[in-house]
Amino acid sequence: LNDNPSRYKITLSGTMKSPKINFSPPFLMLMPVPLDMKTETAIKIIPQYYLRRSRIQVELPELELEGGDKIYPFSAQFPEGQNIVLLSDGTNKEIICYISFRSPRPVSFLGNIFFTDEQKN
């Protein structure tokens, strides 16, 4: 400065955390109901470390019945939307999802429902 060329070395370091999603409750158990009656429960999707807007997608399982018929007894509803939103305090807003099940035929199922973001994480 002031015609005195000086060199300054600045070292920056940081940590980048990968986006992730947690759930509350961590697993889902729906109560048995009579045939063709709906059972439903709410889950909280808790996104973390999303720095930009993203959207949650859900893959619901197809079930094969005796005899080979296939049904899609699960449905998912997002009453407040599926967007992951970054709040002003740097955290992400929780997303509520209602998972429901209805089947005209007797069936039991143990498996996965997949939630992904736009980058397929």
Does the predicted model carry a pTM greater than 0.75?
A: yes
d(Cα 3, Cα 28) in Å, to the nearest integer?
69
d(Cα 46, Cα 84) in Å, to the nearest integer?
9
Which class in CATH covers the domain with range 20-116? Answer: mainly beta
CB atoms within 10 A of CB 85: 15
d(Cα 47, Cα 84) in Å, to the nearest integer?
7
Residue 120: pLDDT over 70: yes
CB distance 60 to 72 below 8 Å: yes
Nearest to 56 by CA among 67, 45, 64: 45
Q: What pLDDT shows up at residue 15?
A: 82
Residue boundaries of the structural domains of the chain? 20-116
Q: What pLDDT shows up at residue 2?
A: 63
What residues form DSSP beta bridges with 72? none
pLDDT in tens, 10-58: 888 888 788 999 999 998 888 889 999 999 999 999 999 998 889 999 9
Q: What pLDDT shows up at residue 74?
A: 94
pLDDT in tens, 65-80: 888 889 999 999 999 9
